[in-house]
Chain A
Amino acid sequence: MQLTFPRSLTTDALREGQKVFHSMMEASVFPRSIDEVIEALQAHRYIAERGLATAIFLALRLGRPLFLEGEPGVGKTEVAKVLADMLRTELIRLQCYEGLDIHSAVYEWDYARQILQIRMLEATGERDEIRIRQQIFSPAFLIKRPLLQALEAKNGRPPVLLIDELDRADEEFEAFLLELLSDWQITIPEIGTVRAEQPPVVVITSNRTREIHDALKRRCLYFWIDYPSFEKELQIVRTRIPEAPERLSRQIVAFVQELRRLDLYKLPGVAETLDWTAALLALDQTELDPTVIDETLGVLLKYQDDVLKVRGEIARDLLAKATLQAEMAAGGTI
C-alpha cells in the first residue's frame, strides 16, 4: 500500500500521472480495438453486443467506471467477472445493501487486537498516550475492506472492482462513492491518505429499484443491457452449455424470446434461459413438449401469477410459434 500524506496535486501533475498510466496500459493486456474486446470476451465465454464492447473498450481506455443497468439476469455482474479474467487480474466485489458504511466498505480497525495490544503495552509499563495511539492505529491493525483493497495493484495490475447492485445502497453511500470515483483516494484520519497509483477498473451495476443520482452516472460510461436478440441468445446458450442439442437450444431460445413479448410481471432473463436449458438437459429432453414446459415453467417465471397465465394454452401457442421460428432459423443457417 502506498501511503502519502495529503497534498494538493496540480492538474498538470494529475495529467502527467494519467499519461504514465496510459503508457503502462499500452504495454499491458488492455485490448487495442473494439473487435479485440469482443474476441477477448468471447474467449472467456461472454457474448457481448457491439455497444457493450465499445463501452468496455472506452472504459478501459479512458479509465472511467462502467455503469451497467438492465433487467435482472442479463449478465451485468458477469461482465466484471469476465473482465477480471480477461485482464488477468483480481476481482474485488462489493455487494451493496442499505446501510452499507465505511466500516464494511472501506476499512475497519481490528478492535480485539487493539485491546490486546493496549494490555501488552500496559504490561511493559508504557504510559505515553500518544505512543500507544500511534502503535495501535497503525496499518498493522487495519482491516481492509473492498474499496481500500481496490486501491492497491497486485503485481502491477490494477484490480477490477465490482460494485454490485448500487441501487440497494442508500444515498449516503452513493455520495461517498462519488467522491472516491473522482479522486481515487481515501483518507483514514489516524493514518493519512491512501491514494491509488493506478485506479482500478470499475464496474457498477444497478437493477433500478431506485434511481441512482445523475451526478454519479455522468462520471461513468453508461450502458443499458437489453435482452439479447434470438441469434445472440442462441450463441450464448451454445457457448455456455455446449452439450445441449442444437435443436433443443433453438427451441428454448425461440420460446423464451416469445415469452418476453407477453405482458408479464417479470420477464425471464438470459440467466433463466441458461437455467432452463440446464434443467431440460438434466431431464434428458431432446426437444420441448407441452408437458415438460408446464412442469418446468417455474425455472423461467418467478411469479405465480405469471406461471398461471402462461401454463397450458398460452404455453402451447408459444411452443408452436417457437418451433416454427426455430426451424426457420435452422433452415437459414444450414
Chain B
Amino acid sequence: MPGYLLHHLIRFGRTLRAAGVPITPGQMMALVRALEWIPLGDREAFYHAARCTLICRREDLETFNRIFHWFWRNPLMGGQLPPGLLSTALGPIRRRENRPRPAEVGHSSSPGPHPENPEAPPMVLADRAMTYSPIEILRRKQFERFSEEEIQIARRLMARLRWRIHERETRRLRPGPKGDHLDLRRTVRRSLRHYGEWVRLLWRARKRKPRPLVVLCDISGSMERYARMLLHFLHALSHTRRQVETFVFGTRLTRITRCLRYRDLDQALQEVGRTVMDWSGGTRIGECLHAFNRDWARRVLGRGAVVMIISDGWDRGDIDLLRREMERLQKSCYRLIWLNPLLGIPGYQPLTRGMQAALPYIDDFLPVHNLASLEQLAAHLERLPIRRSARRSGLARSFQVLGAEEGPEV
C-alpha cells in the first residue's frame, strides 16, 4: 500500500473520532487489511469496505457518510470537520472536556462527603445551568425554594438514594440451593464420589436481574421550573443503575441516554442542552409517545421494562392520539408509572385533558416534587408486584372513576 494512503487513512480515522464516532485501532487494522482485497480505483468498494469495518452502529452511518464524502474529496485538508458538523457532532470540544478538570478531581465524580470543598462547584453549576435554561434562574417557584446550597445537598442526597428496582426472574439458570431445575451435571459429578450413587441432588435456580428502566421526561414550558431538579434526578438515576434509558419530550422526543453517561453532572447537562432542541416549548405528549412507541419501544422495552413518565399532563396535542399511545405503551411494558410534580400540591386534581386521557392506563400515579417523594418512589420501585397488574389499581383507579364523572370524553 502506498505510504501516503495509509497516512490519509489514519487521518480519516482521526476525523471520524473527532466527530464522535468511536473507532478502535483494531478497526483501522481491519480496514487496512480489507484494502488489500479491494481494487483501489473502485471508490464504491472502498466506501463499503471502510463502512463495514469502521462503523458498528446504525446511528453513526449518517456522520460517516458525510465525513467520508467530505474527507476523500480532498484528503489533504483532513483533520478538520466538514462545516456544519460541529454543531451536531461536537467532536474536538468534547474530547478536551472529557478530561477531568483539575479543580474537580476528587469530588465531581463522587458527590458526597466533602461539602466544604473550596472551589465551589455550585457556582460552576449555576453557570452551566444558565446555558440550558436561563429563564429558570429568574423564576423562583415550587422547586426553587431550594437555595443553591440546598440544590447541592439535594444533588448529593439524590446520588445517595438507593435505586434498587424490583428484580425479575430471568431465564438463565445458575447453581442455587433452592432451585427447581435439577443440576444434572453437578449431580453426576458429585455422584462419582459415591460410586455413582446419587446421594445428594443439586439444583439450579433462576438468576434474578433488575428490570430495565425507561424514563420519559416532559421538558415543556409548564414543566420548566422542575426541569433542573429533574435532570439532576435523571443523572443520578442513570449512574446508580446500569440499564436506564432516558428520553425527554416537549414537541418532539429526544433520547438523552448517551448524554447522561458523563459522570460529571455539568458536562452531562451541557450535552443534554446541546442535544435537545425543544426546551420550554409546547407539549404534544401524544405525538411524542407515538414516536416512542414506533421508534424505540421495540428496542428498549424488552425484558420487562418499567416505564416512568414525568409530566404535569398539560397537553396541547391530539388527545385521542395520547389515549391510544398510552394504551399501547402500557401494554408493552411491565409497569407504567406517571410522576406528576403537581400531585404534591395539596388539593390538586388531575383534571387537565391530557391527564384525564392518560389516567386509565397508568399503573401508579405518584408525586415528584421533593426529595421525600423521590424516596417514596425509590421504595415503590423496590417493591413492585410480582405480577403485572391487569387493569389499574390504587390511586389510578380512583382517579379514573373521578374522571368518568367529570369528563364524558374519558
A residues bordering B, Cβ < 8 Å? 33-34, 50-51, 54-55, 57-58, 61-62, 64, 67, 69, 97-99, 101, 103, 108-109, 111, 114-115, 118-119, 121-122, 127, 129, 132-133, 136, 170, 172, 207-211, 214, 217-224, 263-265, 305
Interface residue ranges of B1-38 to A (CB < 8 Å): 22, 24, 26-27, 30, 33-34, 37-38
The reply to whether B26 and A218 form a contact with Cβ atoms under 8 Å apart is yes
B residues bordering A, Cβ < 8 Å? 22, 24, 26-27, 30, 33-34, 37-39, 44-45, 48-49, 51-53, 55-58, 61, 170-173, 184-185, 188, 191-193, 195-196, 293-294, 298-299, 302-303, 324, 328
For the complex, what is the distance from the CA of A119 to the CA of B188, rounded to whole Å? 13
**Could you list 9 examples of A-B contacts with CB < 8 Å?**
A51-B52, A58-B52, A61-B34, A64-B30, A97-B171, A108-B185, A111-B188, A170-B170, A218-B26
Question: Contacting B299 at CB < 8 Å: which of A51, A62, A211, A224?
Answer: A211
Contacts of A54 in B (CB 8 A): 38, 45, 48-49, 52
Determine chain B's interface SS by DSSP, over half rule: helix
Q: A57-B37, A218-B27 are in contact. Are A172 and B192 (CB under 8 A)?
A: no
Contacts of B58 in A (CB 8 A): 69, 208, 224
The reply to whether A34 and B45 form a contact with Cβ atoms under 8 Å apart is yes
Contacts of A34 in B (CB 8 A): 38, 45
Question: Contacting A115 at CB < 8 Å: which of B44, B52, B196?
Answer: B196
For the complex, what is the distance from the CA of A121 to the CA of B328, rounded to whole Å? 61
Contacts of A264 in B (CB 8 A): 294
Contacts of B324 in A (CB 8 A): 305
The reply to whether A115 and B185 form a contact with Cβ atoms under 8 Å apart is no
Number of A-B contacts (CB under 8 A): 112
The reply to whether B294 and A265 form a contact with Cβ atoms under 8 Å apart is yes
The reply to whether A99 and B61 form a contact with Cβ atoms under 8 Å apart is no
For the complex, what is the distance from the CA of A98 to the CA of B212, rounded to whole Å? 15
Q: How far is the CB of B389 from chain A (nearest CB, A)?
A: 23
Contacts of A33 in B (CB 8 A): 39
The reply to whether B196 and A118 form a contact with Cβ atoms under 8 Å apart is yes
Contacts of A61 in B (CB 8 A): 34, 37
Name which of B52, B55, B61 has the most chain A CB atoms within 10 A of its CB: B52
Q: A98-B171, A98-B303, A99-B171 are in contact. Are A220 and B56 (CB under 8 A)?
A: yes
Contacts of B53 in A (CB 8 A): 58, 221
For the complex, what is the distance from the CA of A263 to the CA of B287, rounded to whole Å? 12
Contacts of B38 in A (CB 8 A): 34, 54, 58
For the complex, what is the distance from the CA of A98 to the CA of B171, rounded to whole Å? 6
Minimal Cβ-Cβ distance residue in B for A207: B298
For the complex, what is the distance from the CA of A252 to the CA of B328, rounded to whole Å? 30
Contacts of A64 in B (CB 8 A): 30
The reply to whether B302 and A209 form a contact with Cβ atoms under 8 Å apart is yes
The reply to whether A218 and B56 form a contact with Cβ atoms under 8 Å apart is yes
The reply to whether B34 and A103 form a contact with Cβ atoms under 8 Å apart is no
Q: How far is the CB of B44 from chain A (nearest CB, A)?
A: 6
The reply to whether B56 and A129 form a contact with Cβ atoms under 8 Å apart is no
For the complex, what is the distance from the CA of A55 to the CA of B45, rounded to whole Å? 9
Q: A54-B49, A57-B37, A62-B33 are in contact. Are A222 and B192 (CB under 8 A)?
A: no
Question: Contacting A208 at CB < 8 Å: which of B27, B49, B299?
Answer: B299
The reply to whether B57 and A217 form a contact with Cβ atoms under 8 Å apart is yes
The reply to whether B188 and A122 form a contact with Cβ atoms under 8 Å apart is no
Q: A209-B298, A211-B299 are in contact. Are A129 and B170 (CB under 8 A)?
A: no
Question: Contacting A263 at CB < 8 Å: which of B37, B170, B185, B294?
Answer: B294
Contacts of B61 in A (CB 8 A): 224
The reply to whether A222 and B170 form a contact with Cβ atoms under 8 Å apart is no
Contacts of B298 in A (CB 8 A): 207-209
Contacts of A58 in B (CB 8 A): 34, 37-38, 49, 52-53
The reply to whether B57 and A172 form a contact with Cβ atoms under 8 Å apart is no
Question: Contacting B173 at CB < 8 Å: which of A101, A108, A119?
Answer: A101
